[in-house]
Amino acid sequence: MLKPARTFRGGYRFKNFNGQARPVIVENHMPVLVTIPLKQGFGAELKSLVKKGDAVFAGQIIARDDNVVSSPIHSSVNGVVEEVRRMNYFKRQTAMVIIRTNNASREILRIEGCSLDWARLSNEKIEELIYLSGVSSLDREGIPTRFKSSIIPPEEVKHLIVHGVGSEPYNISLDLLLKDKNLLNFLEGVKILKRIMPNSKVHLSLNAKKRSIIEQVAKLTSQLEWLDTYPLEPKYPQGYDEILVPTILNQNFPYGYSAANIGVVILNIQAVLGVYEAVCNGKPFIERVIAICGPSIKDNIHVKVRVGTPLKDILAERIKIEMPVRVVMNSLLTGFQLNDISLPVDRTFSHIVAIPEKKEREFLSFMRPGKTRDSYTRAFLAGILPWIKRAPDTNKHGEERPCISCGFCERACPVKIIPHLLAKHVQRNLIDETIMNYGIFNCIECGLCSYVCPSKISLMKIIKEGQDKLTMQGCDSTQCILPYFNLKGIEEYRGVTKL
Amino acid sequence: MRFIKNTLDKVKIIAGNNKYLKTFKPVLNAMDEFFFGTDKVTTLPHIVDNMDIKRLMSLVIIALLPVTIASIYFWGLRVLLVIMVSYAFGGLIEVCFAVFRKKEIHEGFLVTGLIFPLILPPGVPLWVVAVGVMFGVMFGKEVFGGTGRNIFNPAIVGRVFLTIAFPKIMTMNWQMPFNKGLGGFIHFQNTVDAVTTATPLVLFKNQGIVTSYSNLMFGQSAGCIGETFRVGIIAGGLFLIVMRIVDWRLPLAYLATVFVFPYLSNHLIHTQFALGGFQLFSGGLLLGAFFMATDPVTSPFTKPGRWISGALLGILTLLIRNLSGYMEGVMFSILLINAFTPLIDTAVLKARYKKGRPR
Ligand code: SF4
Ligand code: SF4
């Protein structure tokens, strides 16, 4: 059923940033060398089943462990294992399997037992296909199957939220993901998921601005009484689990835990498409569609790449080199900075954003009309000329100053805490129960407060610091959460995240 | 631009080598930052808002421009001199403290320096301006530790100090504004008919005369330099609200209280309050409500706190206007409520974060 549009209090809508990826997709050339991390997405790090010198084929499982929360990992090319070693991958030592391609064919071996007529498959088979394809490790809590791919079993899922809100400054194109036949495949994927999670209610949440897609979906799903469609305003950070749960389910979120702990699974559209591909076509999840965004890219498009492809294979010819560039993974507000372009992409990549690293100073910067400058206030020309594209860069646009209590951070904060108040307590070293009471552990690190602050205070960082200090003093976020929620699978969740 | 850069760089080198000039580094840095912006880059989040304190303060100044220009028309070119004196002496204090503390100079002063002259009577002697602004900046702001830490609005501290210290000067220097031709743009000061007159509030209190709304709105009444051109004040205030720089809650609560309260009390306790409309458009109420009570540093940051403090301000203003010997309630009430701001915020936070409630 189509529900009325919804949104949440706070947040900020990033409009019309320059360098949005066009709804065009190209296949990246086959990599000569892939580096495959043995921890991708949700789940524990696995041990390699292959060793140096082994021949592997694309889609072959090279790591799997059914006894820990995890999903299998595949080789993404046909080739020979060159090395298995640990490398620093996003601030974590991760084991990597390095494979040299010896056959650049794009063929991928299908997983056995798949069927276009999935309704005839048994539940067990479907779950197995999803698990073996590796798609079950996507997103924050993975897809529950009987193979321990998530922290709760599939029957315990009460709500499944599938979202394609696109609230970041740069988003993958919904039009592209759900083009033509993909829309039908996507809905099939949703039905498959409903089948393995029989006790769940499904909530599709889509960008309210994509009218035509919503209409089509509403028409195609009008018969399904277990499925609701919600148009959501694409306001950052609507796509976060912590915000989706209250907006859609009117339910509090156990901050610091995962939605799965309250029986909710949240997936994005690529994961659902992956489920369809796995069950109906037996495709292991070794390819990923990545949106290449930002003004420092020559042509903003989407590319389909094999997992393990080094970033330089993707970026080398696409990036503008005239100016210094900062490359960021997934989100301009919270994403990792990609300094080392020899690192590979994994299953969790969805965006690569490149913006100018703007160190040079600007004459009378604060007096410029600001035709392309984005701001929470409406004090730039961009605020009244919404059709002109905004050009982001990494400059701080001002000196750090003491807080003037303007309240922007409070108005923007999506979880209704008061960032400047917390920051003042932390900076004065007043770290005690008071700030826990003020909700310091509710911070979801979305970074909006730091974004909007005109005094350029790194609020998010200070709040994080406060959380750490508070935890060291023995106040734990569990104190704010456990008494009020009946959480499931806590031990497993700890096991995966505290590794 | 090149020229400014070169000069600054040269001066910096000279200052860097000289033991005595070194102390003025904050001034040079402030100028450097003012002209050339920053070269710092972000960490996380990777992008930040283009708004900064400089632009924020400039916008407040832009919002005050209509009033300032109109005030030159009404009171003569001497107003410019008053503004310059205010900036010069206020700036002096600011620089002294920055040098003394070895901290950078903050932009907040740019607004104080302009607002302060606007709330003085047109005939105010220049030395009084200097004394007032120095007192205001020093005891309203610097003793608390500078911008962002102050409890009181520095302009108001200066003004209230002057009212108490020099009551004669501050209540006697009312003039009638220019209203013909180019008016004050070509005169230094209104000497032709410099008959001292009384402000509308005084006229009402002593003789029951109600000045007409059109005169009040368009500046044809006696009053402080910047408070009589009320159309301009309203426009500037709305501009700031639309730009999201000022929160609408406090001014709305303040003005609504002032408008409604007289009706209520005239009915209930039969004292003679001037009616709401007249109250709204007389005295420094509008200027105070839009530009001073809303100063983010000294007003409550919680939303309920803003409603509360707006309402309290309204009631207090009316009580002072009608029941005390002072004609002007706005400044005193803002000063008083400033003092209560932390208390209001704490109370609101206490109520909001009751222990043991899941959020
Ligand atoms: S980073 Fe934390 S405090 Fe800041 S806006 Fe986001 S949730 Fe609120
Ligand atoms: S946005 Fe910055 S200046 Fe404004 S209240 Fe928050 S911390 Fe203070």
> What does B182-236 look like in DSSP terms, one character per residue?
TGGGS-SS--TT------HHHIIIII-PPPPHHHHHTT-S---TTTS-HHHHHHH
Regarding whether A182 and A323 lie in a shared domain, the answer is yes
3-state SS of B146-188 is: CCCCCCCCHHHHHHHHHHHHCHHHHHHCCCCCCCCCCHHHCCC
Per-residue burial over B40-52, b if 16 or more Cβ lie within 10 Å, else e, is bbbebbbbbbbbb
Contact (CB<8Å) A454/B56: yes
Question: What amino acid is encoded at B315 in this protein?
Answer: I
Above 0.90 for ipTM, yes or no?
Answer: no
Long-range Cβ contacts of A48-51 (<8 Å, 24+ apart)? A48/A84, A48/A95, A48/A97, A50/A75, A50/A81, A50/A84, A50/A97, A51/A81, A51/A84
Residue A365: inside a domain: no
Regarding whether A156 and A94 lie in a shared domain, the answer is no
| A302, A349 contact by CB (below 8 A) | no
- Number of folded domains in chain A? 3
pLDDT per residue over A275-321, tens digit each? 898 888 888 888 889 999 988 888 888 999 998 898 888 888 888 88
Cα–Cα distance list, B65 to A76, A379, B5, B69 (Å): 65, 16, 29, 6
- Diameter of chain B by CA atoms? 73
Bridge partners of residue A203, in order along the sequence: A161, A228
Cβ burial of A109 (10 Å; 0-12, 13-18, 19+) is middle
pLDDT of residue B354: 73
Give the H or E element holding residue B6: helix B2-17
Contacts of B234 (CB under 8 A, 6+ apart): B286, B290
Regarding whether A40 and A25 lie in a shared domain, the answer is no
Contact (CB<8Å) A406/B358: no
A363: contact with B, CB 8 A cutoff: yes
Q: Give the Cα separation of A14 and A355 in Å (integer).
A: 15
Regarding whether A85 and A26 lie in a shared domain, the answer is no
Residues of chain A with confidence (pLDDT) below 50? 499
Residue A402: inside a domain: yes
Task: Take atom 3 of ligand 2 and give the residue whose Cα is closest.
Answer: A403
3-state secondary structure of A155: helix
Token pair, residue A124, equals 């067990």
CA of B306 to the centre of ligand 2 (A): 16
Q: Return the CATH number at A84.
A: 2.40.50
Q: Give the Cα separation of B344 and B350 in Å (integer).
A: 10
Cα angle A454-A459-A465, degrees, rounded to a multiple of 5 = 160
Q: Which ligand is nearest to the CA of A406?
A: 2
pLDDT of residue B308: 92
Regarding whether A84 and A5 lie in a shared domain, the answer is no
Question: What amino acid is encoded at A330 in this protein?
Answer: N
Q: In chain A, positions 154-173, which contact chain B (CB-CB < 8 Å)?
A: 169
Residue A498: inside a domain: no
Give the H or E element holding residue B258: helix B249-268
The preferred substitution site among A397, A418, A420 for testing ligand 2, maximizing ligand atoms within 8 Å of CB, is A420
Regarding whether A69 and A218 lie in a shared domain, the answer is no
Any ligand 2 atom below 6 A from CB of A457: yes
Token pair, residue A213, equals 């897609």
Token pair, residue B85, equals 């004196």
For residue A375, the number of C-alpha atoms closer than 13 Å in the C-beta half-sphere is: 29
CA of A102 to the centre of ligand 1 (A): 48
Residue A364: inside a domain: no
Number of Cβ pairs < 8 A linking chain A and chain B: 192
Regarding whether A39 and A19 lie in a shared domain, the answer is no
pLDDT per residue over A208-242, tens digit each? 888 888 888 888 888 888 888 899 988 888 888 88
Contact (CB<8Å) A397/B33: no
Q: Return the CATH number at A437.
A: 1.10.1060.10
Contacts of B110 (CB under 8 A, 6+ apart): B57, B58, B61
DSSP 8-state secondary structure symbol assigned to residue A295: T
| A71, A41 contact by CB (below 8 A) | yes
Cα angle A22-A27-A33, degrees, rounded to a multiple of 5 = 130
pLDDT of residue B359: 47
Task: Take atom 6 of ligand 2 and give the residue whose Cα is closest.
Answer: A409
pLDDT of residue A499: 46
Cα–Cα distance list, A6 to A2, A238, A344, B336 (Å): 12, 10, 38, 43
Task: List phi, psi (to 5°) of A229.
Answer: -115, 130
pLDDT of residue B236: 92
Residue A406: inside a domain: yes
Residue A390: inside a domain: no
Question: What amino acid is encoded at A132 in this protein?
Answer: L
Regarding whether A41 and A95 lie in a shared domain, the answer is yes
Rounded to two decimals, the pTM is 0.88
Query: Mind listing the pLDDT tens digit of every residue in chain B (359 residues)?
Result: 667 777 777 777 776 677 676 777 777 777 777 777 777 888 888 998 888 888 888 889 999 999 998 888 888 888 899 999 999 998 888 888 888 877 777 777 888 889 999 988 888 888 989 999 999 988 888 888 777 788 888 999 998 898 888 887 777 667 777 777 666 677 777 665 555 666 777 777 777 677 777 777 787 777 888 888 888 999 999 999 988 888 899 999 999 988 888 877 777 765 666 677 777 887 788 888 999 888 888 889 888 999 999 999 988 888 888 777 666 788 889 999 999 998 998 898 888 887 555 44
Radius of gyration of chain B (CA): 22
Contacts of A173 (CB under 8 A, 6+ apart): A20, A21, A22, A23, A291, A302
Regarding whether A114 and A94 lie in a shared domain, the answer is no
Task: List phi, psi (to 5°) of A339.
Answer: -85, -35
| A456, A398 contact by CB (below 8 A) | yes
Task: Take atom 5 of ligand 2 and give the residue whose Cα is closest.
Answer: A405
Regarding whether A240 and A166 lie in a shared domain, the answer is yes
A478: contact with B, CB 8 A cutoff: no
CA of A376 to the centre of ligand 1 (A): 15
| B214, B281 contact by CB (below 8 A) | no
Any ligand 2 atom below 6 A from CB of A403: yes
pLDDT of residue B358: 47
Residue A494: inside a domain: no
The interaxial angle of helices B53-75 and B78-101, nearest 10 deg, is 150
A438: contact with B, CB 8 A cutoff: yes
Q: Which ligand is nearest to the CA of B245?
A: 2
Domain range holding A424? 396-481
CA of A35 to the centre of ligand 1 (A): 35
Contacts of B87 (CB under 8 A, 6+ apart): B113, B114
Smallest CA–CA distance, residue A18 to chain B, in Å, is 13
CB-closest option in B36, B44, B297 to A405 = B297
Interface test with A, best of B32, B43, B49, B142 (most A CBs within 10 A): B49
Regarding whether A409 and A347 lie in a shared domain, the answer is no
The preferred substitution site among A450, A455, A460 for testing ligand 2, maximizing ligand atoms within 8 Å of CB, is A455
Residue in the structure block whose two tokens are 């929160």: B247
Contacts B299 to A, Cβ<8 Å? 405
pLDDT of residue B355: 56
CB-closest option in A363, A392, A455 to B53 = A455
Cα angle B133-B291-B337, degrees, rounded to a multiple of 5 = 80
Regarding whether A268 and A157 lie in a shared domain, the answer is yes
pLDDT of residue B94: 85
Q: Give the Cα separation of B72 and B247 in Å (integer).
A: 29
Residue A374: inside a domain: no
CA of B57 to the centre of ligand 1 (A): 25
CA B311, B317, B320, B322 torsion: positive or negative? negative
